[in-house]
Structure 1
Amino acid sequence: MTIERTGPDFMPARSDCVRSRRSIAAALLAAALLAGCQTMTTPAVDMTNVDPATAAPANIESLTAVIRQNPNDANAYNVRGAAYGLAGMYKEATADFEAALRLDPSFGQAYANRALILRRQGKLRDALADYNRAIQADPGYAPAYVARGNIYRQEGRADLALADYNTAISINPTDAQAFYNRGLANQALNQHQTAVEDFTTAIGISPGAAEPYNSRGVSYLALGDPKSALDDITESLRRDNRSFQAWANQGLAYEQLGDRQKAFTAFSRALTVNANYQIAVDGARRTSATRA
C-alpha cells in the first residue's frame, strides 16, 4: 500500500500582518510620491509573502509608475518582479530581478526570487546557484535556506535538506514553512515520529494551513496509527477539499481501519479531481469489490 507524500512547497495561511499589506503596489506608489526622487525605504519583498492581488494589471501599472519615478531603486524592481512572477509572466519577472541585481549585487531576496522563477521553469541547477548566491549575499535570509532545502529534497538529498531547514529554523524559530518541509525530509528518511513533531509545530504556527495536517496523517499511517491519521487527513480536507492526495490518503486510512466502503468513496473523490492518480486508481480497484 503506497502512502502519498505531499508536494515540495507549503504556503502557510496568511497572517494578520500579511493581510494588512494587501496592496504592496499601492503602498510603494504612495511612498514614491512622498519621497519624490529620494530612495524608498519600503522593506524588500520575497515572492512567498506577496499578496496575489498584487499581480493584478492595475497594480503592476502602479509599480511601473514607481520605477519611473525611482529608476535606481532595486527594491522597486524586485517588487514588480514578484508581481510579474505571481502573474506567470516569467520573462518579465526575470528581467526585473536582474535589473534589481545590477543596481544592488548583494540583494539576497532578488537572487532568491529569481531562483524561484528558475525552479518553476524546471531549471533546478540554475535555481540552486541563485539560492547559493542569495545565502552568500544575506546569510540571515531564512527563506533562501528553506527553498534550497526543497531543491535538495526534490533531488533525494534529504541530509542536505535537513541541514538547510535546521539553519532556517535557527534564524527564524517561527517559520512554519521550515518546520513543515523539515517534516517532509524526515518522512523521506522514514523518521516518522520526528516528522510528526515537525508537522505539529508547523500546525501550531499556522493552524489554517491544510498541508501539515495531511502530511502528519501520512506519518501516522506509516506509524500504524490509522485513527490519528484519519483525524488529521479529514482536518486537512476541511481546509482544502480539492486535494486528491488527501482524499487518497483518507482512503488509505479507512482501508487500514477496515472500512472499505468509506475507503472506496474517498478514493473515488480523489479520482474526481485527478482521474489518473494511480494511488487512487489502485485503491478504488482494491476496495470496489468489497462494497456492501
Structure 2
Amino acid sequence: MQKVLLLLWVFTLAITTTGIAQNSDLYASPSERKSIAADYYEKGNRASKREQFPLAVVYYDSAIRLYGGNSDYYFARGQAKELADNNIGALADFEAALRIDPQHYTAMFKRALVYLKQKNYKQAAQDFTFLINNVETFETKAIVFKGASYDEKGEMIFSGIATLEDMMADVYLARAQTYEQMGFSTPTMLDYDKAISLNNHEPNYYVHRGLFKLKKEDAAGAEADFRNALEIDQFHRLALYNLSFLVDADEKNEIDKILYGVGDFAMAYSRRAFENYQKGNYEEALLDYDSALQIKRDNANDLMNRGMVKAKLDRHKDAIKDFETSVYTDNTLTRNFVLIGNSFQELNNYPQAVTYYQRYLRSGTGDGVVYYNLGLAYMKAKKDDLACEALRKAYDLGEERAEPALEQVCFRLE
C-alpha cells in the first residue's frame, strides 16, 4: 500500500512541476511569460501527437494562464478537449479563439464539426456555408487534427494531422453530412461531388457519397463509388463491407475472405452472426458475436443479439447479463426488458419476469405480446386477478393467443 501511495505522490509531483505554470512564472516579465507559455504550448502539442489529450489540456492551460492572447492556444486546447470527449469545453475554446481572432477559420471549422456532433445542424450548416463563401485557403500555425476521418460505422472522428490544402474538401464533406441530416437531398449530393472534385484521393469521400446514393436507391452509383474507394485503398473495410451487399455470390465470398481474414472488423462479424442466427446456427452465431464484441465491447445491439442467441441455447443467466449490459449502454433499447422477462420466465422466476415486463410497459408501449407474456407470468405465479387483467389487455391489443388463457383464468375468478 505504501508503495502505491508513493508512486501516486511521485506522479502528482511530476504533473505539478512540469505540467502547470508555477506561481513564479506569473511574476516574470511579459516577454519571459510569452516564452514560457510557448514552451508549454509545444509540450501540449507533443502530448497531443502522442494522443495524451488530458495531459495536453494541462499544458495548454498553463500556456493560456501565462499568455491568454494567442488564439492558437485556445484552438489547440479545444481540439484536445474534443478528443478527450469534452465537447462543451471544446466549443467554448473554439469560440474563445474566434473572439481573439475572428479570422481563425480553422477554429470555426472545428466549432462547426462539434455542432454537427451535437446535432445542431442549423448552426453547423451556417458555419460551413460561411467558410465556403468567404475562405479561399486555411492558414494557421497550429497543429490541425483531421476532421474528416471515419470509424467503421462511417461516423466522423478526429484522427491524424490534416493538410490545410485539403481542408476545404473536408468542409464540403461536412456540410454534405449536415444537409443529409436536414433532409436536403440535392444540396447534399452537390456537396459530396464538390468534396471529391477538390480531393479525389480520399477513399472515405467516395464511401460516404456511395452510402448516400444507397439511401436514394441508386445501387449502381453506390457500387461505382465503393469501387472508386477501393481503387485508392484496396483494403478499405467500409467500402468492402458495403460493396459486399451489391455483388454476386462469388465476389461476395472473395470480399468476405478479406473482411474476416483481417479479423478485426466488428460489423462483418455482426452480419455473419445475424445470418447464422436466422439459419438456426446458434453456436456459430455466438462465436461471431463474441468476436464482434471483443472488437467493440460497447455495441449495445450486438450485446442484445448475443443475449438472444444465448437464450436460444438455454443459457438464460448469461443472456440476462447481456441484456442488462445492452440497455445500460443504450437506454433506448427498452426491448431488452422484455427479453430479460422472457429469460426469467424460462428460469421459473416469475416475480422477476413480471418486474421487467412492467418496466417495458411503463415506457408507454402498448404491446399485446408483452401483455400476453405478463399474463402468463402472473398465471404461473398464481395471481389470477392480475393475470386476467393482463390477458384481457393483450387480447384487446390483437394478441389472439391470449384468448384460451384468458377464458381459463378469468373463468376461475367467476
Could you tell me the TM-score, scaled by structure 1's length? 0.69
CA contact (8 A) 1:83 1:93 kept: no
Q: Aligned equivalents of 1:202 and 1:269: distance in 2?
A: 31
Write the distance in 1 (CA, Å) between the matches of 2:203 and 2:258. Answer: 15
Q: Which residue of 1 aligns with 2:326?
A: 202
Query: In the TM superposition, what are the counterparts of 1:229-244 in structure 2 within 5 Å?
Result: 229-239=353-363, 241-244=365-368
Give the secondary-structure state (helix, strand or coil) at the position aligned to 2:150. coil
Partners in 1 of 2:120 and 2:341 — Cα distance?
36
Correspondence for 2:188 among 58, 62, 76: 62
Q: Which moved more, 1:178-187 or 1:238-247?
A: 238-247
Query: Aligned with 1:70: secondary structure?
Result: helix
Distance 1:96 1:211 in 2: 33
Distance in 1 between the 2:366 and 2:178 partners?
A: 20
CA contact (8 A) 1:193 1:219 kept: yes
Q: Distance in 2 between matches of 1:269 and 1:130?
A: 51
Unaligned runs of 5+ in 1: 1-15, 272-279
> In the alignment, which residue of structure 2 is the partner of 1:108?
237
Q: Does 1:211 pair with 2:338?
A: no
Instruction: Kindly provide the amino acid, as one letter, of the partner of residue 192 in structure 1.
Output: H
Paired position in structure 2 for 1:265: 392
For the residues of structure 1 that align with 2:368 and 2:272, how far apart are their CA atoms?
27
Return the letter of the residue paired with 1:219: S
Paired residues of 2:154 and 2:238 also in contact (CA < 8 A): no
Amino acid at match of 2:196: N
Which ranges of structure 2 fall in alignment gaps of 5 or more residues? 1-85, 88-113, 138-145, 157-176
Looking at structure 2, the residues matched to 130 and 196 of structure 1 have their Cα atoms a distance apart, in angstroms, of: 37
The 5-angstrom pairing of residues 43-54 of structure 1 reads 43-44=149-150, 54=180
How many angstroms does 1:222 deviate by? Answer: 0.8
RMSD in angstroms over aligned alpha carbons?
4.2
Give me the whole-angstrom Cα distance separating, in 1, the residues matched to 2:281 and 2:148: 37
Shift of 1:210: 1.0
The answer for the alignment partner of 1:174 in structure 2 is 298
Moved more, 66-75 or 146-155: 66-75
Task: Give aligned-pair identity as a percent.
Answer: 19
Q: Would the alpha carbon gap of residues 228 and 45 (structure 1) be closer, same or farther in structure 2, given more than 3 Å must change?
A: same
Query: Residue 149 of structure 2: SS of its match in structure 1?
Result: coil
The 3 A distance-change label for structure 1 pair 243 and 145 is farther
- Structure with bigger RCO (C-alpha 8 Å, 6+ apart): 1
Distance 1:207 1:94 in 2: 37
CA-CA distance at 1:111 after TM superposition: 3.3
Paired residues of 1:44 and 1:79 also in contact (CA < 8 A): no
Q: Which residue of 1 aligns with 2:315?
A: 191
Shifted more, 47-56 versus 74-83: the winner is 47-56
Is residue 111–residue 130 contact of structure 1 (8 Å, CA) maintained in 2?
A: no
Aligned partner of 1:283: which letter? Answer: A
- For 1:49 and 1:238, the matched residues in 2 are separated by 33
Pair 49,103 (structure 1): closer, same or farther in 2 beyond 3 Å: closer
From the superposition, tell whether residues 22 and 246 of structure 1 become closer, same or farther in structure 2 (CA, over 3 Å). Answer: farther
Per-residue Cα deviation, 1:104-141 (whole angstroms, up to 9, x for no partner)? 232212333455x67xxxx9979975882572485322
Worse-superposed segment, 140-149 or 76-85 = 76-85
Aligned mates of 1:262, 1:158 — CA distance in 2: 36
Code of the aligned partner of 1:43: S
* Structure-to-structure mapping, 1:271-282, within 5 angstroms: 271=398, 280-282=399-401
**Pick from 97, 117, 120: which aligns with 1:20?**
117
**Aligned CA distance change for structure 1 residues 62 and 254 (closer, same or farther; 3 Å):** same
Deviates more, 1:223-232 or 1:246-255: 246-255
Task: Give the direction of change, closer, same or farther, for the CA distance of 1:265–1:98 in structure 2 (3 Å limit).
Answer: farther
2:345 matched to 1:221? yes
Cα 1:200–1:59 change in 2 (3 A) is: same
Task: Note the alpha carbon deviations across 1:196-252, whole angstroms, 9 max, x for none.
Answer: 121122122223321211111111111111211121122223346154543433333
Show the 5 A alignment for 1:131-142. 132=256, 135-136=259-260, 139-142=263-266
Deviates more, 1:61-70 or 1:212-221: 61-70
Aligned letter for 2:400? V
Partners of 2:323 and 2:340 within 8 A in 1: yes
Q: Residues 169 and 47 from structure 1, CA distance in 2 versus in 1: closer, same or farther, beyond 3 angstroms?
A: closer
Task: Tell me, in whole angstroms, the C-alpha distance in 2 between the residues paired with 1:256 and 1:52.
Answer: 52
Contact persistence 2:121–2:181 (CA under 8 A): no
Contact 2:289–2:302 under 8 Å retained in 1: yes
TM-score (norm 2): 0.51
The amino acid that maps onto 1:286 is: A
Deviation at 1:269, TM superposition (A): 5.1
Give the superposition deviation at 1:46. 5.8
Aligned pair 1:96/2:222, yes or no? yes
Shift of the alpha carbon at 1:70? 1.0
Give secondary structure in 2 for the equivalent of 1:75.
helix
- Larger mean CA deviation between 138-147 and 148-157 belongs to 138-147
Q: Which residue of structure 1 aligns with residue 48 of structure 2?
A: none
Residue in structure 2 matching 1:42, options 128, 148, 163: 148
